[in-house]
Amino acid sequence: MSMSKKRVKLRAEELQQLKWLVGSCLSLLALWALSSLEMQSSSVVLVAAGVVLLSIVSPRIVSRIPSKLWRPIGFVVLLIVIVDFALHLPEFMPPLLRMVILLLLFKTLAPRKRRDDLQITVLCLFCLVISGVLTVSLLFALQILIFTPVAMGMLFMICLLDRGSESRVRSVDWERFQYARLLGKVLRVVDYRVLFLGAVMFGFVVFISTLLFILTPRIDLDQAIPYLQIKTQTRAGFSENVKLGAVTDIQSDNSVALRIDVPSYEAIDGTPYWRILALDKYDQGYFRLSNDLRDRPYRSYLKIRELMGRELLSDSTPRERKSSYKWTLYLEGNTSQFLPLPGMFYSMRFEGLQDLVLMPGQHHVGLRSVQQRVFSYQIEDLDWTHRFPAMQIEVDAFSAVPMQFESEDVKYPMTNLELNLVSEERAYLADLNEQIVGGQAVDDVGAYSKLVTDYLWKNYSYSVSPNLSGNAEDAIVRWMQNAKSGHCEYFAAAYILLAREAGYPARMVVGFAGGSWNVVEEYFVVRNDDAHAWVEIYDAKSREWLRVDPTPGNGSSDPDIITSNVPSFESGVNAWIDSLRIQWYRRVVNFDQSDQIDMAISAKTWWDRFSERFSEKVKSIGASLQKWWQQPFSSEGIVRFVVLFCSALMVWGFWRSRYTLLGCLYRILRRPKALDPIRLQARRYLRKMRTKQVDGEIVDELMAMRFGPPVKRTKAKEVFERARKALRKSQS
């Protein structure tokens, strides 16, 4: 039975089927990679993935398409690609990706020769690399890890088929195809040694690529090659034109928007406010940046690698460096053009040269375009603050006598006072101001702010979905008159309207408030549902913009009292998965080559120390040998030498006579099932021969050794020697 054990083999046709399916899986992987590039053709990706999935689930359907049809389909695909390029030509990337998708789909579905299989493999790699470069997401690592073994298997199968006669088995018969049968057979066929070798090879590839990954200098491919950049849009709530409710829309998304590597947990402010954009102009339910702010002199454009904090504070005295703590912020792609900044800082660094937009008065740093991939920046010596110095031009403008400005063309600083309301509404606001302030003497902004905030908290409660009714033209006034509850934007807007009516310049600020602490890797996480809107009001006394958060539940009503809340903690599986991402970012994102250099230096010092120690050791051994040789023999030395020699002899002797000794041991123990060592060894060889399908006299001899009458040890050794040779021969 065991002699005649049949070896299951895959037929060429089954191998073809397997290859076809693995190829389809590769193209599915490629489509997955492309789908993580958020672009307009995501529906194309989805449809293509659906078709490929269908073809994998039931290959029969695709095989029924007559093969003559594929040539005209190829022409049609070519035509579509040309037209697509012609229509979108200045844009290069989206049509290119669409072309890749179409090509993948065509190659996957059409009958494939060896050439096509190789093309699919290369295309898949191309897609993975492109999406990896553009998104820098953790998925890239996962996809590459999946791709490597699958592609290795694919190439292995192509090699196998190449040795066989592929040309003869042209069309694969899918009609009687069954997954269970094929996979079962594959399971039976797969040899654990092949799997082991494959795993070793895979490990080797991963090891080498990790090494390369650590050692190669980082270049931003998309920075280097401009046409690889894909333009996307900022979130509506963080744009330069925010409609009432847009910030609250962001809150419905629970995904992470910002991760911050913090010097320590204590360094985070009690209630961190991540300021993104301050909007000065109010117009009928819209807060926007006034036109003046969209250009010089309020904006400047730079292309730099490191930005000093004083460049945002051109009007006031330069800020001294207080500490050298570094904060690294990772802003997820497609979030905002302007970077969340919690306060003033000493310097800010980027990966490579960046095209920046600076708005010094608003204390904003933005990018020229919204990034699709994660964007990282490092801030040195961050100063949490709720007061930002105002520009000289603002101070001058606001210190002038308040004036009525209902003209069409209001210039910048004055937009912070502009109301754009009809007179009844203004009257309503004025009445309300009167009512709030009453007869009290309000000597500064803080006191006024506290009164207004208290009023708002007393009369309105927080709700994400306020019900609006009434007939006032302006949305905010309507809300103030009729509603009982609203979200942060209503509170902030109502505050601004009241403040402006009372003559205080005020502006709306959007960004994030709060966040949570990831316990696993110790970093701060800000999610999109932390999106928030608050107010900055001008404090004429200190010539600063003062942060006020009129939304209930976010601290004290007095703007100068900063309460500290304990942020929520993230732990558990999700936090762990998220922490993988930050580890990935920490490794991928590199502000300079310093840690690579550090690594190289530490490796070099390690090697130097090791070689130094090694040579020392060798030298000391040599010296002691020489000493030993030169000194006269002592009795102790001779005894030691004899003991050493005897033990070496014993080891050697044991090795020479191991069969005899083990045989003796066997006879002493005599367990019922134990075989004596020669039989055991013969059995081992026989098993090897059986798996290697070695035949011939040597097998008979081993059989005699195994089942025959006991033989002499010397004879056995000789046979085993020959068996070893035969095995080696069969391997080569």
Partner 1 sequence: MSSKSVIPAPRAFETVERLRKNIERTIRGKTEAVDKVIICLLAGGHILIEDLPGLGKTTLAYCLARSIDCSFSRIQFTSDMLPSDIIGVSIYDEREREFTFKRGPIFANIVLADEINRTTPKTQSSLLEVMGRAKISVDGQTYTVPPPFMVIATQNPVDYEGTFPLPESQMDRFLMRMEMGYPDFKNELDILKDGHLHYDHLVATPVVSKNDIVELQTYVREVYVEDTVLEYIVKLVAATREKVEFRSGVSPRGTLSLKAAAQARALAQGRAFVIPDDVSLLVLPVFGHRLVLQKPMSDPMEERRSVEGLLQQIVEATPEPS
Residue with tokens 């800000």: 526
End-to-end alpha-carbon separation of the chain, Å?
28
Q: Site map for partner 1, 99-118, x if CB under 8 A?
A: --------------------
Q: Which is nearer to partner 1, 160 or 680 (CB)?
A: 680
490 neighbors 244 (Cβ within 8 angstroms): yes
Q: And the tokens for 520? A: 């696993």
Round to whole Å and give the CA distance between 510 and 238. 6
* Torsion, CA 306, CA 310, CA 314, CA 317, rounded to 10: -160
Interface with partner 1 (CB under 8 A), residue from 704, 717, 722, 727: 704
Residue type, 289: L
Beta 523-527 vs 375-380: how paired, if at all? unpaired
Give the nearer residue to partner 1 in terms of CB position, either 114 or 688. 688
Minimum distance between the CB of residue 192 and partner 1, rounded to whole angstroms?
Answer: 18
Q: Which of 477, 686, 716, 719 binds partner 1 (CB under 8 A)?
A: 686
Minimum distance of partner 1 from residue 657's CB (angstroms)? 20
**Residue from the set 227, 610, 614, 707 that interacts with partner 1 by CB under 8 A:** 707
Nearer to partner 1, 3 or 212 (CB): 3
**Least CB distance to partner 1 at residue 689 (A):** 11
> What does the buried/exposed string (b/e) look like for 579-616 if buried means 16 or more CB atoms within 10 Å of the residue's CB?
bebbebbbebbebeeeeeeeeeeeeeeeeeeeeeeeee
Structure tokens at 424: 């009844």
State the minimum distance, in angstroms, from the CB of residue 687 to partner 1.
6
Footprint of partner 1 on residues 184-203 (CB under 8 A)? none
CB atoms within 10 A of CB 635: 7
Region 2-31 residues binding partner 1, contact defined as CB under 8 A: 2-3
How far apart, in whole angstroms, are the C-alpha atoms of residue 282 and residue 417?
Answer: 9
Residue 46, classed as helix, strand or coil, is: helix
Task: Tell me which amino acid residue 296 is.
Answer: R
Can residue 710 be called a binding residue for partner 1 (CB under 8 A)? yes
Give one DSSP letter per residue of 460-512, joined into a string.
-EE-SS----S--SSHHHHHHHH-SEE-HHHHHHHHHHHHHHTT--EEEEEEE
User: Would you say 712 or 725 has its CB closer to partner 1?
Assistant: 712
Q: Does 709 bind partner 1 (CB under 8 A)?
A: yes
Q: Smallest distance from the beta carbon of 718 to partner 1, in angstroms?
A: 19
Whether the Cβ atoms of residue 508 and residue 535 lie closer than 8 Å to each other: yes
Shortest spacing between CB 674 and partner 1, in angstroms: 10
Spell out the alpha helix ranges (H) of 88-191: 93-109, 114-135, 138-163, 179-189
The verdict on 696 binding partner 1 (CB under 8 A) reads: no
Q: Which of 648, 708, 715, 725 binds partner 1 (CB under 8 A)?
A: 708
- Please, what is the minimum distance in Å from the beta carbon of residue 171 to partner 1? 37
Of 196-204, 542-550, 635-643, 708-716, which part binds partner 1 (CB under 8 A)?
Answer: 708-716
Compute the least distance from the CB of residue 588 to partner 1, in Å.
53
Q: Which helix (H) or strand (E) is 596 found in, with range? A: helix 594-630
Cβ atoms 301, 342 nearer than 8 A: no
Helix (H), strand (E) at residue 548: strand 544-548
**Candidate ranges 253-261, 433-441, 527-535, 701-709; the one touching partner 1 (CB under 8 A):** 701-709
Closest CA to 502 of 389, 397, 407, 416: 416
Q: Is 715 in the site for partner 1 (CB under 8 A)?
A: no
Min separation Cβ 196 and partner 1, Å: 22
Is 274 or 685 the residue whose CB approaches partner 1 more closely? 685
Site for partner 1 in 538-577 (CB under 8 A): none
At residue 525, φ and ψ (nearest 5 deg) are -120, 130
| Cβ at position 190, least distance to partner 1 in Å | 22
Q: How many whole angstroms separate alpha carbon 233 and alpha carbon 244?
A: 19
Kindly tell me which residue out of 9, 115, 687, 712 binds partner 1, with binding defined by CB under 8 A.
687
User: At closest approach, how far in Å is the CB of 707 from partner 1?
Assistant: 5
Q: Applying CB under 8 A, what is the total number of residues that bind partner 1?
A: 15
List beta partners, residue 256: 527
Question: Of the two residues 344 and 702, which places its CB atom closer to partner 1 in the complex?
Answer: 702
Q: Which of 703, 713, 722, 730 binds partner 1 (CB under 8 A)?
A: 703
CB of 672 to partner 1, least distance (A): 9
Residue type, 512: F
Pick between residue 218 and residue 683 the one whose CB is nearest to partner 1: 683
Minimum CB distance to partner 1 smaller for 493 or for 689: 689
Q: In angstroms, what is the C-alpha Rg of the chain?
A: 38
**What is the contact mask toward partner 1 in residues 651 to 680, using x (rule: CB under 8 A)?**
------------------------x---x-
Applying CB under 8 A, the span of 1-9, 107-115, 196-204, 281-289 interacting with partner 1 comes to 1-9
List the one residue from 218, 319, 683, 713 that touches partner 1 (CB under 8 A). Answer: 683
Strand runs labelled E in 341-386: 343-344, 347-359, 364-367, 375-380, 383-384
**Cα→Cα distances 23→151, 385, 546, 676, Å:** 9, 57, 61, 52
Cβ(71)–Cβ(110) below 8 Å:
no
> Residues 601-620 vs partner 1: string with x where CB under 8 A?
--------------------
CB of 1 to partner 1, least distance (A): 6
Largest CA distance in the chain: 121
- Site stretch for partner 1 (CB under 8 A), options 64-72, 126-134, 234-242, 705-713: 705-713
DSSP state of 337: S
Instruction: For residue 352, state whether it binds partner 1 (rule: CB under 8 A).
Output: no
Residues binding partner 1 (CB under 8 A): 1-3, 675, 679, 683, 686-687, 703-704, 706-710
